[in-house]
Structures are given as structure tokens and as C-alpha cells.
Amino acid sequence: MDKPDADLEALRRSEQRFRAAFAQQFQFMAILAPDGRVLEFNQQLAADGLAVPREDVIGQLFWCTVWWRDRAEMQTAWPERLREAAASATPVLSEDSYTSSGGELRHAAAAVSAVRNEAGEIDCYIVQATDITQRRHAEALQHGMEAQLRETQKLEAIGTLAGGIAHDFNNILGAILGNVALAVDTLDAGHPALAPLKQIKQAGRRARTMVQQILAFSRRQPHELVAQPLRPVVDETLALLRSTLPSSVQLDAVLSDEVLWVKADATQIQQVLVNLCTNAWHALKDGRGRIELGLAAAPEHQARLWVSDDGAGMDPATRARIFEPFFTTKPVDAGTGLGLSVVHGIVTEHGGRIEVETEPGRGSRFTLTLPLADAGIDSRPGGHSGLMPLDGGGRRVLYADDDESMSIVVDGLLCRAGYEVTLFQDARAALAALRAWPEDFDLVITDYNMPHCSGIELAREVARLRPGLPVVISSGYITDAMRAEAADAGVRHVMHKENTLEELGALARRVLDGDPAG
């Protein structure tokens, strides 16, 4: 083989190696002429093995090829990048979305370098790119998780704040309701003060319900499923909604008179209805329209609740995602996307189900079905209206609470019921009395949250000084953790402080009669 033939063979092999290396590159690579037309490219951005036809790319302006032709902003961006590369000693970097050979919108990171000939003129441009779609998805997922974490932290902060507010506010409510009961007990029937006292009592009970709703919304209220009629729960929710919704919203109630008993947490059911009605309000055009809240019996031994509106409605895509956590169609900072996921969770926990009927422009209807329960005793707070039964029999009660107004009310209630009461507003003073006269008391009732010594600490000391002396703890904010801690300390019962008027008399009698802890 003579030298020219050898040179040609070497050149051919070199070109083969170059084309093989070019085609086998891990990254996408394209060689562009100085005017931006494609001279060569590999298939590394081909999706699902779908190669891009060479005739559709070779000789075309890079920004007019299949990858960019439907992205108008690239018609300006790529020529500018070539100019930057021509003026730069280092590659020009960018990140763009592009259309894959399979028609999918994807993302790539690119570097553009200018190659010059011996005369210093632009010979060609080299474009190298890597698909970063998965990285973008991972980053989006991470950002979403960070947003969820921030929302969760907000809810935790709200819950902590709500717990502190509930404790102080329930002390106030307990004092108000207790003093009202004592005042009513001293008045003759027909006394003109009875009517305003009744209004105070109703307002106090409503405030008590709102505190429990705050705790439920912040997910800090333990679930208590008890058998109860559903209609009073709906009635209380309607009263709350009528004071909350603007006058531009017509709120109609379609409620069956049939007594429908369910096993439910009243506060959580109210949360469900408030969430649904609030969403319905937001769906109304310009905040004007009609919302209907209904209750009726349903087949298969069930109760049916529904909330409907004549608002914007939803398309199928939105309807399919409404129960996903953190999904929302509201503007940024206008909603957490938690409302309907919480609703779904509550209904499921109650053994029920939720169905949605909606159509764009024709409103939405959310229907809840809950299993009926056997009728029992209505144990909801507020179900009893009178004072404690007069059956104290002179038994001795130590009551410890740092709140003066609550101490005075409980003293009045217990003394009227026939108990002998010794009050302490300092837990340390109560402990000193127990140490000095451990046999002088039949029952200890203490607030949970007191300075210097908590109700749990007081209970532990009582158990050490006099095993078997029953202890009841009251608190405006009860959690499962608190119940467990109290049980470990030997506490006989944990009572919601705001229910002192309704519960304390029967509870004291039950504990003193030796009933098991509850």
C-alpha cells in the first residue's frame, strides 16, 4: 500500500473512531455551523428509543429543530447563546425545557463552546447537553416536601398556641357558667334577671364550643366517639356559620326531624361541616350565592349529611385530586390544601364515606354518610342544665387551683352540694396540708397546670402520703399524653375543666363511691 492510500486509510479509520465516539457519548452532542445550522448530532436525547430523523435536523437552524420548534422563546435565546460563546473563553451554560422525540416536555442542562480555526475565525459550535428531568422532578418533590413541612410546623405552632389559650379561656368560661348557675339557683321563678342570665349561659356555652373547634382545627384535640343525636351538632354548626358567613351568602338548612343517633366526635363533625361550607362559600362567584346544609336518614341504617352550593364547580381533573393533602386551587397564601384531606380523614375514622357531585359552572354537592348507632344517653357537654345534686353528705374535698375565680365557683358549687371544701390556690400549700393531715380529706381535685407544682406532681405526692386517696385532675386542654401520665400517677379521672358545672357533681359522687377510673 503506497503512502497516499495509507494516509486515506488512516483518515478513514480516524473518522470512524470519531463517529463511534460521537455516537457513544454519554451526553447529547451537536455540531453547529457558524450560522447555527446543524452539521452533526447524536441521539442521546432520544426518548424511549425513538430516534430523531436526520433529515429533520441536519441543515436546520438548531433552534428550529424538533427539540425547540414549539418553544418561541428559544428562537431568541439560542442565537444569543452562540454570540456569547463566540465572545467567551469558557463554555456558556444554560438550563432549558425541550420537546423530546416522543413529544414529552423534558429538561436539559447545556454547554455551548465556540471552536476556532487557525485564523481565529469561528469554525463551528459544540453543544453538549444532559437530560436533567429526573433531577428537576426530585427538586420539585423536595420543595414540595419542604412546603409541607412548613405547613405542618405552622399547624404545630397553632396547636401549641391553641392549647395555651384554651387553658386560660376555659378557666374564664368555667367561672362564668358556674356563677350563672349559682345566681339562677338563688332567684325565684319569673325573676326578671333570669332572662339575661340565660343569654349569658348560652353565650358561654357557645364560646366553649368555639374553643373546642379551635383545638380540633389545630389537630390537638383527642378523638372522643360517643353515641349522640346528630341534629343538635348540626344546629350548633349552623349557628356558628350564620355568624361567620357574610350576608351575601344565603345559608339554607334542610334538616330531618327524625332523631338520628351516631357514634361521633361532635367537634370533628362540626369541623367537617364548617370546612365544607367554607369551601362552598369560596366557590361562589364574587362571594354571593346559596349554600345548603342538609340532614336526613339514608338507606342501610345510615345518616346522610350534605353541603351543596351553586358556585363554580370543578372539572374532572380537579375533582380527582381534591382529597390529596396540600392540593389546593386557591391562590398562594390563601389556603393550605389541608381542608378536604382532613374532612376525608375524619369521615373515614367515623366509619363513613364521602361522595362528590360537581360540574363546572353548576356548583358542587358533598354528601357524607355515617352509620347510625343505638340510642343512648346524650353525654355531650351542655346536655345537663342543673346544678350538682345535693348529695355530698359532708364528705371532705381538697380543691387546688391557682385561678381565684374558678376556685370560688367550685367552692360554691361543692358547698351547695353538701361537701366540705378546703381551697388552695398554691399547690405547695395543698401539699403541706396533706402532709400535716393526710386523713382529713376524702377526695382531692386539682387543676393540671399550676406554677411550682403541676396537678400530676401533686397526685404522685398524694399517692405517696396516702395511697388510695382518690385524685381528680381538671384541665382546659386534655391530650392523650396527659391521660397516660395521669393514669401512671394514679389519678382516678381527668375532667374537662370547661364542663365543671355539668360533670363535677356526678364525677365526685362516682369516685367517692369507688367506681373505677374513667
User: Which residue type occupies 228?
Assistant: Q
> What letters, b where the CB count within 10 A reaches 16 and e where it falls short, cover 323-355?
beeeebeeeeeebbbbbbbbbbbbbeebebebe
What's the mean pLDDT when you consider all of the chain?
82
Task: Report how far residue 166's alpha carbon sits from residue 169's, in angstroms, rounded to the nearest whole number.
Answer: 5
Q: Residue 210 pLDDT > 80, yes or no? A: no
Mean pLDDT of 226-249: 88
pLDDT category at 218 given cuts 50, 70, 90 is: low
- Least Cα distance to 200 among 169, 215, 178, 185 occurs for 178
Contact between 439 and 433 (Cβ < 8 Å): no
**How do residues 219-229 score in pLDDT, each as one tens digit?**
445 566 889 99
Domains and CATH numbers, the chain: 3-134 (3.30.450.20), 225-374 (3.30.565.10), 396-512 (3.40.50.2300)
The 8-class DSSP code of residue 258 comes to S
Task: Report how far residue 125's alpha carbon sits from residue 128's, in angstroms, rounded to the nearest whole number.
Answer: 10
The 8-class DSSP code of residue 320 comes to T
pLDDT category at 251 given cuts 50, 70, 90 is: very high
pLDDT at 221: 52
Helix axes 455-465 and 480-488, enclosed angle (nearest 10): 20
Mean pLDDT of 498-512: 82
Q: Retrieve residue 207's grid coordinates.
A: 364560646
User: Which residue type occupies 183?
Assistant: A
**How do residues 374-426 score in pLDDT, each as one tens digit?**
875 554 444 444 566 667 788 999 999 988 888 888 888 888 888 999 999 99
Distances (CA, A) of 495 to 18, 160, 482: 83, 20, 11
Task: Report how far residue 443's alpha carbon sits from residue 393's, in angstroms, rounded to the nearest whole number.
Answer: 13
151-160, 305-314, 447-456 — most confident range:
305-314
pLDDT at 336: 42
Q: Residue 362 pLDDT > 80, yes or no? A: yes
pLDDT category at 432 given cuts 50, 70, 90 is: very high
pTM of the model: 0.49
Q: Residue 332 pLDDT > 50, yes or no? A: no
* Burial (0-12, 13-18, 19+ Cβ within 10 Å), 370: buried
Q: Which residue has the cell 361522595?
A: 355
